[in-house]
Structure 1
Amino acid sequence: MVRAVRGAIQVEGNDRDAILAGTTELVSEVMGRNNLTTDDVISVIFTCTPDLTAEFPALAARKLGFHDVPLLCATEIDVPGALPRVVRLMAHVQTDRPRQEIQHVYLRGAVALRVDIAQ
């Protein structure tokens, strides 16, 4: 089956190292909590709030071994009052887990985005 896994993390600032470290933490948590390997991943879409421009989050995934996984980066809609400095992801994965067992991951300040499903 194909499932979508969501996640987000608020990073410390618009700094290359902060974006890469936060994205690495987010991707690692999504993979670990869902017992996934890169072979299970079909594709990943990353988005950043408009205040994050110092690096592509996909670079962190490449450094984690996502060499042959299609990755895409985009900018979130600039909604007034939205939580700043957030990297989000939506990963499409192959898994036998039912939808209700998928672990969506919201870290640091991004927990406020989805308190209903944050683990």
Structure 2
Amino acid sequence: MVRGVRGVRGAITVKENKEEAIVSAAFRLFKTMQKENGYVPDDISHIIITMTPDLDAAFPAKALRQLEGYDLVPVMCAQEIPVPGSLEKCIRVMLTLNTTKSPGEINHVYLEDAVTLRPDLFLTNQGQLR
């Protein structure tokens, strides 16, 4: 099958605006995204991470430095648009990778309260779409 470029979405909410909470949540999200999609760091083109304005105690990209092989993956962190009434304390990820998977085979990962962002896409604990 021909390799193509695909986006993998992910999001997780954080309980509090503290460095440990942000890095721990981001680490969990990155590990789950990798597990559910079976890629390796060399497959990744780049990663864009956003956080809501109420999170500013740490860069979520710090979690990637704890994962083997991610040292050369281009990463950018940014602030999410502060839309009134939107989900609070949320880290969002758009990971772009080269893969042979079709768009329908990509498993987007939404954890904690972030499942409300795309309830049509989030994975259950069994790795199945809800």
TM-score bin, normalised by smaller chain:
over 0.9
1:8-19 → structure 2 map (5 Å cutoff) = 8-19=11-22
**Residue type of the alignment partner of 1:38:** P
Q: 4+ residue runs of structure 1 moved beyond 6 angstroms?
A: none
Residue 12 of structure 1 deviates from its aligned partner by 1.1
Question: Equivalents in 1 of 2:74, 2:36: separation in Å?
Answer: 21
1:68-87 → structure 2 map (5 Å cutoff) = 68-87=72-91
CA deviations on 1:52-81 (whole Å, 9 max, x unpaired) are: 000001110122131000000000011111
Q: Which residue of the partner structure matches residue 60 of structure 2?
A: 57
Q: Residue 48 in 1 paired to residue 51 in 2?
A: yes
Q: CA RMSD in A?
A: 0.6
How many residues are paired up? Answer: 119
Q: Residue 113 in 1 paired to residue 122 in 2?
A: no
- The gaps in structure 1 that reach 5 residues or longer are none
Secondary structure, aligned partner of 1:115: coil
Secondary structure, aligned partner of 2:29: helix
Identity value in percent = 44
Question: Equivalents in 2 of 1:62, 1:42: separation in Å?
Answer: 16
Where relative contact order (Cα < 8 A, 6+ residues apart) is larger, the structure is: 1
CA deviations on 1:7-39 (whole Å, 9 max, x unpaired) are: 000011100000000000000010010001111
Question: Equivalents in 2 of 1:107, 1:79: separation in Å?
Answer: 21
TM-score, scaled relative to structure 1: 0.98
